[in-house]
Each structure stands twice: as C-alpha cells, then as structure tokens.
Amino acid sequence: MEKPAMKRTLTNRNIQLIALGGAIGTGLFLGSAKAIALAGPVVILVYLICGVAIYGLMRAMGDLFLANSKFNSISDFIDYYLGEKWAFFVNWTYWLCWLGAGLAELTAIGLYIHFWFVHVPALISGGSALMILMAVNLVAVKWFGELESFFSIIKILGIVFFILLGIGLSVSYFHTQSIGIKANFGQLNELLPFGFAGMIASFPMVLFSFAGIEMIGLTVGETSDPQKNLKNAINCLPWRILFFYVGTILSILFVVPWHCLDLKESPLVTMLQMIHCQSGAAIVNLMILVASLSSANSAVYSTSRILYQTAKEKSLPPWFCALSKKGVPLHGILITGTLFLAGLCLHFFVADSRLFFQLLAGMTTSCFLFVWSSILCAHIQFVKEKKRNTIPRYKDLALLVFFAAIAFSLLFERMTRFIPFLLVIWFVLLSFVYKRISDRNIN
C-alpha cells in the first residue's frame, strides 16, 4: 500500500494570491488604528520603510530557496547554513509566531462580531471560526489553497474599493475642515504629533501588519512549480506593498483625522461611519472579518506544517508525521486546533479583547523579528559561500540592525516592555529541550 505523501496541488494562481493576501489581515485592518494613534500621519513613512525592509527580506529568502531545490521550508536552509540548533530554535519560534498570529486573528474575529452581536463572547465567535477552518484544512491542501485564494480576492477587491472611495471622499469633502486630508496634512505639526518617539513606537505594530508575508516559503513543498511560482510572487511584492499597504493607510488618512480613530474598530469602518454610511460600515466589517478568517486559515496551515517539518527532523515524535489519505498533516492540525482553543480561553483572564490583541501583536512581532533575522543571517552565509560581491551582505546587515532596533523599541512601550524578557525565557527553555533531545539521540 502506498504511503500517504504531501500533494503538490497548490497552483501558481494559489501561490500568487496567498503571497498577495496572506499577510493582509488584522495587522493592517485593525492594528493600523493603533499605529496611526502612536505616530500620527507620519505613519505613512513608517509603512514605506517597513515595506522596503520586508522586500529586502523576501529577496533574501527567495535567493535561498531558489539556490537549492531541496529546500522545502525555512528551517531547511537555516539548518544548512546556520546549523541544526539554530534551525531548531527557528522552527519552534516560527511555530510560536503563527500561534500568536492565529490567536490575534481569532481575537479580532470576536471584535468584529461585536459590531453586530455585542454580547457574544470572543471565545464563542473565535472558537466557531476555528472549527470551520480546521475542517477545511483537514480535507486537502487544495481546499486550503482555494479558500485562501477566495479570501484573498475579497480582500484585494475590498482594498481597491476603499482606496478609490478614500480618493473620492477626499475630493468631494475637500472644502470641509473636518476632512482628513486637511486635518492630517494641512499643518506641519500634525504630521508628527508625538515627535520621533511616537513614530518609533509605531514600528512594531506596522511590522505586525506584514507578519506572515514569508508564509509562501512554507508552501514550497506543496507547490507544483516552486522555482517559478516563488520567484514570480517575490518579484511582484514592491508594487503590492506600495498599493495595498501604503494605499490603504493613505485612503484612511485622506478621510479620517488621525485623532478620530477608534481603537476598538477598524479605521475603514470609522471612515464610513464618518459619512454616516452605517450599512456600508456593516459590509466593510464583513469584509474585514473575511480578512481575519483568511489570516487565521493561514495560521492553522502554517502551524500544522511546522509541526510536521519538526517531526521529520526528529525533534518531535513520529506521530506528528502522520498524513491523512489526502496528504495533510492530520495530527499537526488537530494539535494546532487544540492549542488555539486553549489560547482563546485566556479571554477569561483578559477581559478586554483589544488589550489581548495588542499583547499578542507585540509578542508575535518579536518572534517574527527573530525568524526574519535568522533568514538574513542564513543569506549572509549563503552569499559568503558563493563568494559574491559584498553589497547583498551589507544590505542584510542593515536590515539586521533595523530589526534589532525595532525589537529594542518594544522596551519603551508600557504594554510590550516585558515581551523581550519572555523571549529570553523561551530561548532558555528551547536550549534545555534541544540538549535533552540531543542527549537522547546520542544514547
């Protein structure tokens, strides 16, 4: 009897849409309100800077995957260039990234549901969404790809609509003093209301909106033509970042004065409520809900694949390598779902869903910074071994300094200053576990 194996059923269309829509979620639609509140209108510059950094990161990751067709995951090239222990750290931290990101998305789903049903607990709404997404992921990877593609199309169309709406409203209401384009950009002191300190404080939340953009690296093992599809997806990133991220924030700031944003709802909803379009706000909230479902779907996919990959590297019991007849990591998905559900139960201890979301965003950003930095370190080693010119290495070093500065900035925000210390504890724990596994393998 033939042993089940992962299916290469994700098409170029799936990969392009996953690359385009995979990272467009709560970080942009909900977290942008916090970023704008911290920095003011200058947040546009923050998104541009972060976009350039992310593109540099993705180019580095693309180089690594395209250099060796045997690399089927991020941990593969980390292991090859930086060693087994580093790969172990990256694997588990990346898993924690997606666990945090998934919980943030499921929490956001609860916030969006409150738009219609105020008294429905976030645990119920988030848990219900989780059950649906787990069912889809258990069927086949093709279903994941098609659902994610569908979600991405909705997000893309929604963003295009809002950018056009923002331009239209800013032109139509330009004569009024309350319009965002005048309130936000009319005076120099409004551009940077909290100085450079506020601008710097916004970087972690802005980076959180890009979290998951490297997820296409996880799809390499289930893609029909990874070399071609990955290259195409990465090459299209610059205009996508410029249009979808910067364009969305500009459309918001063109209409809504930055100090009028409500942190409990998406800025896009606030934008429509400002023009008294309540029915439109409900439609937008539905679109944003779909965006969160999309990102949560990606989280279920990613965490289960990371567990599968970790088990293949013998850092987890072989039980996690079990594949269903459709070629999906059955046990990984079930364990992932259980952990997400357990995480949602934390709402019993943190009553404020908005606060819970911000804590998760800070933690997730910190973890992603470590993973992204590891990718850059691997790329530096790759360039060194290939004896290429030193310019790519300098670019990588500049990005490493940038990511380190963002991590350091977390210490100055009251809600996130303890997160770097939690990461230290996490790495100490991983060191202990790795040593135990190594000793067991030797014996």
How high is the pLDDT of residue 1?
42
Taking the chain (443 residues) in consecutive chunks of 10 residues, what is each chunk's mean pLDDT? 52 62 67 82 90 88 81 84 90 87 82 80 83 82 75 81 81 63 66 82 85 68 62 73 82 81 75 71 79 82 81 74 74 85 75 69 86 92 76 83 89 78 89 82 62
Q: Note the Cα 201 to chain centre separation in Å.
A: 19
Assess contact for 92 and 430: CB atoms under 8 A. Answer: yes
Question: 383, exposed or middle or buried, with CB in 10 Å at 0-12, 13-18, 19+?
Answer: buried
How high is the pLDDT of residue 376?
93
In a domain, 442, yes or no: no
Distance CA 422, CA 417 (A): 10
In a domain, 17, yes or no: no
Tell me the β-bridge partners of 223: 10
Closest CA to 415 of 206, 208, 204: 204
Distance CA 232, CA 240 (A): 12
| pTM summary value | 0.83
In a domain, 133, yes or no: yes
Q: Give me the domain span that covers residue 382.
A: 25-435
How high is the pLDDT of residue 372?
92
In a domain, 115, yes or no: yes
User: Residue 47 sits in a domain of what CATH number?
Assistant: 1.20.1740.10
Distance CA 383, CA 181 (A): 45
Distance CA 138, CA 144 (A): 9
In a domain, 13, yes or no: no
In a domain, 189, yes or no: yes
In a domain, 8, yes or no: no
Query: Residue 167, Cβ neighbours under 10 Å: how many?
Result: 16
Q: What burial letters (b/e) apply to 215-249, b meaning 16+ CB within 10 Å?
A: bbbbbbbbbeebeebbeebbeebeebbeebbbbbb
In a domain, 97, yes or no: yes
Cα-trace Rg, the chain: 21
Number of domains the chain is built from: 1
